[in-house]
Amino acid sequence: MTTPIISTAALGELLSERPLLLDCRFDLFDPDRGYRDYLSGHIPGAHYLHLNEDLSGEVIPGTTGRHPLPDRTAFAERMAALGLTPDRPVVAYDDKGGGIAARAWWLLKWIGHERVAVLDGGLPAWLAGGGEVASGREEALPAPPYPIASPEIPRSCDRARVDEVRTDPAFVLVDSRTADRYRGENENIDPVAGHIEGAINLPWPDNLEGGKFKSREALRERFSGLKKEPQQNVFYCGSGVTACHNILAYYYAFGELPALYPGSWSEYLLGE
């Protein structure tokens, strides 16, 4: 598996290698819905990861954003408990075009796992292709402790760094939310509308066409106005989740990882 985005056909071929499958479905307004849907039907062998409980750390009121990063060691332990080993391929999926699964993909890259991809089109594409489904909870076969990459690769930046880069012409800050939220015309999640001063807007859903990722060529064109060096491009969203979708699309296009501001708008507001 050499691509960060995998088709349903390629996943079917990969199943002989017993990949670790991660179901990441989640609804911000009904946090338990994803797990209920998972129990009703999921790709056989898949394990469920909850955005709030598995893909995020503890929310500290007045200090963190809505979905702070989990502790790296704790996340690696969670993955090992599901059977992750350094050579085992991982495929994450959801039902939102990869909007949540991309967070799992980023976190796995963060701990140093390279063989990880997001299922293009997610569960809807799997079902449309006649893929089988299973119900109930899958049993995991734990693996030994996962060897976290050390030292940590600098793939993210904190709020203080964001304040530096937003006024530095050598960098570009990219807001990944939809245009109406970026412009401050609609905000039904965070307490204040608008965006970080100086940020441009590249809405994450525009990476998709018909529910699947656009071609590498189209994505290269989409990101062509950004800085040449990946780490000069800092992506954020409302809470550091869908920004990962833009990072995934960028990585698919160029093979390199730009930076993430994990706290994003919901954390940035706390310092205003």
Question: Which active-site residues does the annotation give?
Answer: 237
Of 29, 1, 32, residue with least CA distance to 21: 1
Going from the C-alpha of 193 to that of each of 13, 162, 176, the distances in angstroms are 45, 18, 14
Q: Are strands 47-48 and 90-93 parallel, antiparallel or unpaired?
A: unpaired
Q: Three-class SS of residue 23?
A: strand
Sequence-ordered list of residues with C-beta below 8 angstroms from that of 115, at least 6 positions apart, any chain = 1, 87, 88, 89, 90
Nearest to 260 by CA among 105, 81, 52: 105
Helix (H) or strand (E) holding 14: helix 8-14
Token pair for 12: 């079917």
Tracing tokens 């292709």 back to the chain, one arrives at 129
CA dist 147 and 43 (Å) reads 27
Q: Tell me how far CA of residue 159 lies from CA of 41, 52, 268, in angstroms.
A: 39, 21, 7
3-state secondary structure of 253: helix
CB atoms within 10 A of CB 76: 23
The Cα–Cα gap between 219 and 222 comes to 5
Q: What are phi and psi of 21, to 5 degrees?
A: -100, 130
